[in-house]
Amino acid sequence: MATDCRGPLSILLITSDLMVSSRIAGAAAGIPATVASVGPAAEPGGGPFDVIVVDLEAGRRSAADLVGRARRSAASQAELRPARIVAFGPHVAVERLAEAKAAGADLVVTRGEALQSLASVVSRVRSGPSPG
């Protein structure tokens, strides 16, 4: 994936899983992208972000709550840079994945797809219709 004039992409990852954080950061290096990871209750620092990736297994929150949090983060930086939201979860959590889509995630994928094909996922979400 090519970068634009701003340099590497910036990704905010909302997760409570250190293994997920490590795998996403490793995959992002090949995009190239930088990753800032925060827990589901923490306020993100840094930014603005191009893509906000939400682990639907983060904490004990509903998918709608997690995606809503990502939407608020995206809205707070919209004048600087519009961010896209990707939500991911286990392939067997069909209702949770559907809840994330209904809550406004731009793209919803399985956990395996997010962890194994991050570059493709980021490319797909960035090539979709403009957010907001």
At 97, give phi and psi (nearest 5°): -65, -40
Predicted confidence (pLDDT) at residue 13 exceeds the cutoff of 70: yes
- Tell me the one-letter amino acid at 49: F
- On whether the pTM is more than 0.75, the answer is yes
Say if residues 28 and 11 touch (Cβ distance below 8 Å): yes
β 84-89/33-38 pair status: unpaired
| Per-residue confidence band for 130, with pLDDT thresholds at 50, 70 and 90 | low
The predicted-structure confidence for 44-100, as pLDDT tens digits, reads as follows 777 789 999 999 998 788 999 999 989 888 888 878 788 999 999 999 999 999 999
Alpha carbons within 13 A on the beta-carbon side of 37: 15
